């Protein structure tokens, strides 16, 4: 791959397809996935300046920034199918400060392998996150398919992810197709302060939708997802139950361990760490803006009689137990 050119001969991508790097949030729990640690290539190898490894996995980060780098342009096998963001980066990668020897053939092969691994990893993580959000919000992965209600859900979700003040109100009665036809300038017009973040986040979703068409879903599936995916396949039209929703959060500890986590997975004992946040996520999922922990916990208590959830033998605040742990 030629690192210095604005385009990429492997993919046909152009420098008009910028990489959105989301800077790490300071919360140490929101770190790069553990499983990715052993395949992190050094940034110097990528022709990027050394810094703490940036995430490309949006739920863990609260700020979007555009970073130009041709290696990441390989994220998509084809150029983005829709109008790209207007803030086009300068062509060519950032150069290391020290002059370097020309890379040997072996260096080139190692580099190629690392890039390949990074590419696979990034694509997988982005698609997994979009998939998770789709399940939680009950919306289609492709923004073009969204109704106005779906757009509102996605906006609430984006507010939550990036800790934005209320922005959903400025996009009333906007369908997914309308949203996709808007330029970055349109977004800025709707929200001068956060329009660029919303536009960047939407661009990730649109790129993910384009990628999904080219990547087999197996690439993005983890063992944790399998049982739940089976449930979704078997009962595609069933509304999600609260216990299913809680399980879905629990099987995504990278994303949600700060609001809910297993105490003892084998016994099905879990703890709600942030009751307000879990309630808010449930409210978004069910389109119930007034949802709070008082109501959510009442619904959990309904499960006592049904034998789905109970309090553990040693009762603790915000700790519950699935009667039949999977």
By the rule CB under 7 A, 233 interacts with DNA: no
Q: What angle, 0 to 180 degrees and rounded to 10, lies between the N-to-C axes of helices 293-306 and 275-286?
A: 80
**Residue list 296-315, contact with DNA (CB under 7 A):** 296-299, 301-302, 304, 306, 311, 315
Q: Given the complex with DNA, which of 120 and 138 has the nearer CB atom? A: 138
Beta carbon of residue 99, minimum distance to DNA (angstroms, whole number): 57
Using rule CB under 7 A, residue 38 touches DNA: no
HSE on the CB side for 24, CA within 13 Å?
13
Query: From the list 258, 318, 321, 325, which residue makes contact with DNA (rule: CB under 7 A)?
Result: 318
Q: Does 326 bind DNA (CB under 7 A)?
A: no
H helices, E strands: number in the chain: 10, 6
- For residue 270, the SS3 value is strand
Q: How far is CA 111 from CA 39, 56, 78, 91, 115, in A?
A: 12, 20, 22, 21, 6
Min. distance of Cβ 226 from DNA in angstroms?
A: 22
- In the complex, least distance from residue 304 CB atom to DNA, rounded to whole angstroms: 5
Q: Which spans in the chain are helix H? A: 105-137, 148-161, 176-181, 184-190, 195-214, 223-234, 242-250, 253-256, 275-286, 293-306
In the complex, least distance from residue 277 CB atom to DNA, rounded to whole angstroms = 11
Using rule CB under 7 A, residue 294 touches DNA:
yes
Q: How far is CA 175 from CA 6, 147, 189, 222, in A?
A: 34, 5, 17, 32
Determine if 28 is a binding residue for DNA (CB under 7 A).
no
Please give, one letter per residue, the 3-state secondary structure of 9-38. CCCCCCCCCCEEEEEECCCCCCCCCHHHHH
Nearer to DNA, 128 or 285 (CB): 285
Planar angle of CA 177, 178, 184, nearest 5 degrees: 110
The number of residues that bind DNA (CB under 7 A) is 27
Nearer to DNA, 63 or 301 (CB): 301
Site residues for DNA, 240-279, by CB under 7 A, read: 241-243, 275
The single residue among 71, 146, 293, 322 that binds DNA, judged by CB under 7 A, is 293
Least separation, in Å, of the C-beta of 178 and DNA?
23
Of the pair 199, 322, the CB lying nearest DNA is at 322
Residues near DNA (CB under 7 A) are: 239, 241-243, 275, 282, 286, 288, 290-291, 293-299, 301-302, 304, 306, 311, 315-319
């Amino acid at each position: 791959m030629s690192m210095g050119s604005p385009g990429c001969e492997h993919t046909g991508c152009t420098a008009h397809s910028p990489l959105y790097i989301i800077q790490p949030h300071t919360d140490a729990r929101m770190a790069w996935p553990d499983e990715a640690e052993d395949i992190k290539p050094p940034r110097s190898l990528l022709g990027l300046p050394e810094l703490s490894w940036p995430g490309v996995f949006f739920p863990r980060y609260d700020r979007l920034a555009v970073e130009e780098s041709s290696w990441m342009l390989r994220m998509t096998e084809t150029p983005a199918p829709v109008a790209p963001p207007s803030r086009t980066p300068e062509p060519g990668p950032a150069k290391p400060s020290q002059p370097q020897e020309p890379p040997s053939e072996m260096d080139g092969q190692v580099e190629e392998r690392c890039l390949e691994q990074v590419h696979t990893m990034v694509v997988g993580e982005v698609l997994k996150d979009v998939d998770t959000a789709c399940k939680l919000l009950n919306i289609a992965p492709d923004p073009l398919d969204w109704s106005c209600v779906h757009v509102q859900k996605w906006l609430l979700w984006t507010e939550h992810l990036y800790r934005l003040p209320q922005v959903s109100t400025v996009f009333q009665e906007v369908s997914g197709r309308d949203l996709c036809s808007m330029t970055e300038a349109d977004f800025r017009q709707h929200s001068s302060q956060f329009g660029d973040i919303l536009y960047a986040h939407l661009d990730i979703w649109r790129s993910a939708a384009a990628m999904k068409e080219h990547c087999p879903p197996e690439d993005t599936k983890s063992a944790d997802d399998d049982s739940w995916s089976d449930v979704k396949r078997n009962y595609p039209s069933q509304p999600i139950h609260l216990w299913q929703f809680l399980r879905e959060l629990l099987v995504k500890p990278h994303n949600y361990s700060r609001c809910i986590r297993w105490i003892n997975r084998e016994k099905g004992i879990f703890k709600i760490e942030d009751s307000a946040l879990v309630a808010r996520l449930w409210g978004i999922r069910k389109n119930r803006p007034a949802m709070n922990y008082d109501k959510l916990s009442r619904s959990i208590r309904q499960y006592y009689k049904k034998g789905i959830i109970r309090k553990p033998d040693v009762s603790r605040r915000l700790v519950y137990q699935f009667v039949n742990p999977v």
